Amino acid sequence: MATNAVRAQVGAKWQESFARLNRGEPGITGLMAFSEAWTLVTEFLRPRDITDPTPPKQYNMQQVRAAFDIINKCRRLPVMLEVFLDDMRKCQHLITREVEAHMTLYETTPDPDTIRKLVFRLVEWYNAWLPIRERVTPVLGPTIISAYTLAFQTHLFSVLPPTFAGGIKSLVAASLVHVASQPAGPPDMTLWAAFETLSLIDRYETLIASVGYEFIESYVLETCAGKWTEPMLATLRTWMVDRVVPWMILPYARGATNADEAKSMMQGVGSRFDFHLHKTLCDLRSREIFDIIVDFPESVGALQDLKECLQRVDQRAELVQALRRANKKRLLHPGADTKDILTQYVSTIKCLRIVDPPGVLLFKVADPIRRYLRDRPDTIRCIVASLVGDGESGDSLVDESEPILPLQQPEMENYSDPEWTPEPIDAGPDFRANKSSDVISTIVSIYDSKDLFVKELQVLLAQRLLVVKDGNFDRERRNIEILKIRFGEPALQVCEVMLRDMTDSRRIDQHVQSQNATIMHPTIISRHFWPALESSDIIMPGQFQALQERYAKEFSVFKPDKVLRWLPHLGRVHLELELDDRKIDADVPPLEAAFIELFSDKDVWTVDDLISRVGSVSRSAALKALATWVDMHVLKEDDENVFRLLSVAEEPGTRHVPKPAEELPSIVSVQQQQAEQMRVYWKFIEGMLTNLGQLGLDRIQTMLKFAPGYDQTIEQLGNFMEAARREGLVTVKDGMWKLGR
C-alpha cells in the first residue's frame, strides 16, 4: 500500500543512515568497520560475573579505543549506552544474589563487619562493571558514568532490605567508637571511600548524623548524670574536639585538602553536633533539676552548666515544665513537711537566680509553690520560726551571712535609669522583676500582708518567753531587733511591750521579794499586748491560793493603782513531796500541783471530785495531769476514776501510762482566734439566711460589713462558711448559701 511518497521518504532515511554509518567509505567497508567496532565494544562493556573464576578476557586497548572512536563518529554512542544498560539489567540478579547472601548472614548474626564486607563487595561489582575503566571516550564519559551509576544504584537500593539501614548504622557507630577510642591512629578512609562510591553517604546522611548524636548523648549521660559539683561543659567540649571531630572529618570533610577547608566544610554539621551536645546536657540537667536544687549549694557546677546551655539552647520552657512537674510530684503534697517545702523553695530561689538572674524562670516555677504554701496552715509558723532562728531545727532558712535588710516592696520600674533593660522575652504579663529583694522578702511576700507574720511572731514569742526560766531574754531581744529591721519598728511594738513586761516583772519581783520573800515569782504581763492566752478558771487550792493572795497584796502595795489577775493555768511549779518513805522532787504545771495539793488533805479522790475542787477544767486535761503523777508512782488509779495517794511506794503496776510530752503554753493560734471572732458573726449570718432564704457569699459579706467591728475578708468568710458547711449548718449550691436542716 506504500505510496511513492512513503517509499521515497523511507529511501531517504535509509540513505542517510547508511551514509552516517558508512562515513563515506568506499562500498560498505565503513559499515563493516562499524559492525566490528560495535561487536567489540558491546563485548568489552558486557557486565561480567566477578564470581566467575575464569580470568577476564584481555583486550587490546588500542583497538577498543579505536572502536569507540568509530561509534562516536557514527553518533551511535547513546544507542550503545542503551544496549549496555540493558545488558547490565540482565546481570542484576548477580548483585541481588550477593546482597541477599550477606544480608541473610547479617540477619542471623548482626555483626557490622558483614555489612562492611558487603559494602566492599558491592564496590568491587561496581568497579568491575564500570564502562569506562580507562579513558576511552573522553566525549561522553561523564554522561555514561552517571547513567551507569544511576542505574546501578537504583537497582542496588531496590534490592537492599530494610535491615541494611540498621546495619549501616551499627557499622558507622563501630567506626565512630573505633576512631574515638584511638584518635591518634591513622583514619580509616577506605570505608568512607566505599560509601562515597556507592553514594551511601548522601542516602544515609541522617542516619550517620544520628549515630553522632547518639554517641554524644550516651557519653554525656554516662559522664554527667548525677555529677553536679563541677561544671562539665568545658570537659565535654574538649572531648568533642579530641574524640568526635576526628571521626566527623571522615564523612563530612572528605576531600578537604587542608585544615581550613575541612573546617569550613564541617562548620554546619559541627555546630549541629555542638548544639546537640548542649541540648543533651540541658535535657539531662532539666530532668535532674529537682535533685540539683536539693543538693544546692553542692551542685553549683551543674547550675552553671545549665545557665550556659540555656543560652545556646532554647529549653527554658522545658526546664520550667520539668521543675514544675517534679515539684508537684515530689514536693507539693501532704506528705512533705512545710519546713522542707520552704527549704526547697529557698534553694529554688537561690538556684534559679544563678541560672537566670532576671528571675523569669523563678517567677514561673515559684508560682505553684507559693500558692500551695499559702494554703498550708502552718506555713507562717514555719517561716516565723526560721526568722527568729529556732535553734533546735539546726539549719534556718536564712543565711547567716546575708545582710539584714528591710522588707522590700515591689518597686516601680525606673525608666530614667540608663541601665534599664526591658523584661526578658518570655516573661509573662504579671511578671514582676524583683531583682534586688532578698530571700526573706520573697518568702514573706507569699502573703499579701505582713500583719499575719507579726501576729504569728507574737504567738511564738509569747510561747518562748513563758518557758524561759532563767530570765535571760538576750536571744529573744536580739531576734526582735533583727526583725525590727525587717518588718519595721511600728509592726513590732507589741513584741517590744512583751519583752518589757518580762524585765518589769523581774524588777517588781525583786522589790516584792525584798519586802516579803516568797517562793512565787510571777511574770506579770500586759494584756492586749500578748496573744490571747486560753482562759481558764482553775482555782488553786490550799497553800497555792494563799501564795497568790499574799503576792497580789504585796504587788498592790508596790503599785497601788494596779491589781493582779492570775492566769493560774500558766507557768510551772517546782514541788517537793514529802511522803512517808520518800521525797519526790517534781517540776510540774499548775494543774498537777493543784491536784497533788488536794491529795495532801485526803488520800483517795475521784476524778469528778478533783475537778469540782479546782473549778472548771476539762476531763481530759484532768486525767492527763493525774497521769503525770501516776507515772511518777505518786498516785495510783485503783478503780476507774478513783485515785489513791501512794504514801508508801508500791511496786509499779503493769499499767503504764505514757508520759505526756511537755507542752508549750497553750496560746490560741491565729486561726483559732479568727474562728472565735467569726463565731460572733455566725448569729448575723444565721439571721440573714433565715430571713432571706439563700444568699451569695458577696452578699453576705456586704451585709456583714454593717456589723460593728467586722473586718474579715471575703476569703476568710468563705473559709468560715466552708467550715460551717462541714458541720452541716449550711449547704451551698451554685454559690448560694442556705441554712441546712
Give the integer Cα–Cα distance in Å for 342 and 345: 5
Give the one residue of 57, 135, 528, 733 binding another protein; rule: CB under 8 A: 528
- In the shown chain, the binding pattern of residues 339 to 378 toward another protein, with x for contact by CB under 8 A and - for none, equals ----------------------------------------
Q: In this complex, which beta carbon is closest to another protein, that of residue 528 or of residue 726?
A: 528
53-61, 159-167, 270-278, 514-522 -> range binding another protein (CB under 8 A): 514-522
Instruction: Specify whether the CB–CB gap between 436 and 382 falls below 8 A.
Output: no
* Strand pairing category for 695-696 and 615-616: unpaired
279-287, 450-458, 552-560, 708-716 -> range binding another protein (CB under 8 A): 552-560
Give the integer Cα–Cα distance in Å for 134 and 144: 13
Work out how close the CB of 685 gets to another protein at its nearest, in angstroms, rounded to a whole number: 24
Q: In this complex, which beta carbon is closest to another protein, that of residue 234 or of residue 563?
A: 563
Give the one residue of 431, 447, 529, 684 binding another protein; rule: CB under 8 A: 529
Give the one residue of 482, 577, 623, 627 binding another protein; rule: CB under 8 A: 577
The answer to whether residue 579 forms part of the interface with another protein (CB under 8 A) is yes
Give the integer Cα–Cα distance in Å for 384 and 495: 13
* Strand pairing category for 615-616 and 604-606: unpaired
The answer to whether residue 711 forms part of the interface with another protein (CB under 8 A) is no
Give the one residue of 390, 504, 609, 637 binding another protein; rule: CB under 8 A: 504
DSSP state of 242: I
Q: In this complex, which beta carbon is closest to another protein, that of residue 83 or of residue 524?
A: 524
Work out how close the CB of 736 gets to another protein at its nearest, in angstroms, rounded to a whole number: 37
Work out how close the CB of 669 gets to another protein at its nearest, in angstroms, rounded to a whole number: 18
**Hey, which residues does 538 pair with through a beta bridge?**
615
Give the one residue of 66, 147, 439, 564 binding another protein; rule: CB under 8 A: 564
Q: In this complex, which beta carbon is closest to another protein, that of residue 668 or of residue 729?
A: 668
N- to C-terminal Cα distance for the chain? 115
Q: In this complex, which beta carbon is closest to another protein, that of residue 493 or of residue 612?
A: 493
Give the one residue of 77, 122, 483, 567 binding another protein; rule: CB under 8 A: 567
Kindly report the number of other CB atoms within 10 A of residue 529's CB atom.
16
326-334, 427-435, 537-545, 610-618 -> range binding another protein (CB under 8 A): 537-545
Give the integer Cα–Cα distance in Å for 209 and 217: 12
AA identity, residue 522: P
Work out how close the CB of 717 gets to another protein at its nearest, in angstroms, rounded to a whole number: 25
AA identity, residue 672: Q
Q: In this complex, which beta carbon is closest to another protein, that of residue 229 or of residue 556?
A: 556
Kindly report the number of other CB atoms within 10 A of residue 266's CB atom.
19
Give the one residue of 106, 219, 345, 599 binding another protein; rule: CB under 8 A: 599
Q: In this complex, which beta carbon is closest to another protein, that of residue 332 or of residue 573?
A: 573
Give the one residue of 34, 106, 544, 629 binding another protein; rule: CB under 8 A: 544
Q: In this complex, which beta carbon is closest to another protein, that of residue 174 or of residue 564?
A: 564
479-498 residues in contact with another protein (CB under 8 A) are 493, 496-497
Give the integer Cα–Cα distance in Å for 196 and 123: 10
Give the one residue of 375, 400, 417, 580 binding another protein; rule: CB under 8 A: 580
Give the integer Cα–Cα distance in Å for 39 and 61: 15
AA identity, residue 94: L
Supply 570's cell numbers: 500558766
Q: At what angle do helices 338-355 and 379-387 cross, to 10 degrees?
A: 70
The answer to whether residue 317 forms part of the interface with another protein (CB under 8 A) is no
Work out how close the CB of 578 gets to another protein at its nearest, in angstroms, rounded to a whole number: 4
Give the one residue of 323, 331, 366, 525 binding another protein; rule: CB under 8 A: 525
Give the one residue of 374, 559, 659, 683 binding another protein; rule: CB under 8 A: 559
User: How many residues of this chain bind another protein (CB under 8 A)?
Assistant: 58
Q: At what angle do helices 451-467 and 474-487 cross, to 10 degrees?
A: 170
Give the DSSP H/E element, type plus range, for residue 538.
strand 537-538
Kindly report the number of other CB atoms within 10 A of residue 77's CB atom.
18
Give the integer Cα–Cα distance in Å for 583 and 435: 65
340-348, 405-413, 434-442, 578-586 -> range binding another protein (CB under 8 A): 578-586
177-185, 186-194, 344-352, 564-572 -> range binding another protein (CB under 8 A): 564-572
Give the one residue of 146, 526, 612, 702 binding another protein; rule: CB under 8 A: 526
Give the one residue of 392, 576, 651, 727 binding another protein; rule: CB under 8 A: 576
Supply 360's cell numbers: 523569669
Give the one residue of 466, 617, 622, 678 binding another protein; rule: CB under 8 A: 466
The answer to whether residue 507 forms part of the interface with another protein (CB under 8 A) is no
Q: In this complex, which beta carbon is closest to another protein, that of residue 535 or of residue 691?
A: 535
Q: Where are the alpha helices (DSSP H) in 296-401?
A: 300-312, 316-330, 338-355, 360-375, 379-387
Hey, is 646 helix, strand or coil? coil
The answer to whether residue 53 forms part of the interface with another protein (CB under 8 A) is no
Supply 218's cell numbers: 550516651
The answer to whether residue 98 forms part of the interface with another protein (CB under 8 A) is no
Give the integer Cα–Cα distance in Å for 713 and 392: 36
| Most distant CA atoms of the chain, gap in Å | 159
184-192, 236-244, 597-605, 681-689 -> range binding another protein (CB under 8 A): 597-605
Q: At what angle do helices 474-487 and 379-387 cross, to 10 degrees?
A: 110
Give the one residue of 31, 207, 575, 729 binding another protein; rule: CB under 8 A: 575
Burial of 489 (0-12, 13-18, 19+ CB in 10 A): exposed
Supply 178's cell numbers: 573505633
Give the one residue of 305, 438, 592, 597 binding another protein; rule: CB under 8 A: 597
Work out how close the CB of 653 gets to another protein at its nearest, in angstroms, rounded to a whole number: 19
- In the shown chain, the binding pattern of residues 640 to 679 toward another protein, with x for contact by CB under 8 A and - for none, equals -----x-x-----------------x--------------
Work out how close the CB of 549 gets to another protein at its nearest, in angstroms, rounded to a whole number: 12
Give the one residue of 347, 523, 628, 701 binding another protein; rule: CB under 8 A: 523
324-332, 368-376, 446-454, 572-580 -> range binding another protein (CB under 8 A): 572-580
Supply 693's cell numbers: 432564704
Work out how close the CB of 460 gets to another protein at its nearest, in angstroms, rounded to a whole number: 17
Of 330, 463, 342, 464, nearest to 395 (Cα)? Answer: 342
The answer to whether residue 517 forms part of the interface with another protein (CB under 8 A) is no
Work out how close the CB of 482 gets to another protein at its nearest, in angstroms, rounded to a whole number: 19
Instruction: Specify whether the CB–CB gap between 118 and 101 falls below 8 A.
Output: no
Of 724, 735, 712, nearest to 682 (Cα)? Answer: 724
Cα-Cα-Cα-Cα dihedral sign, residues 702, 706, 711, 712: negative
Cα-Cα-Cα-Cα dihedral sign, residues 107, 113, 114, 119: positive
Print the SS3 string covering 113-162: HHHHHHHHHHHHHHHHHCCCCCCCCCCCHHHHHHHHHHHHHHHHHHHCCC
Q: At what angle do helices 259-295 and 338-355 cross, to 10 degrees?
A: 160
Of 102, 115, 120, 106, nearest to 191 (Cα)? Answer: 120
Q: Can you give the binding site for another protein, defined by CB under 8 A?
A: 466, 469, 493, 496-497, 500, 504, 519-529, 533, 542-544, 547-548, 552, 555-556, 558-568, 570-580, 590, 593, 596-597, 599-600, 645, 647, 665
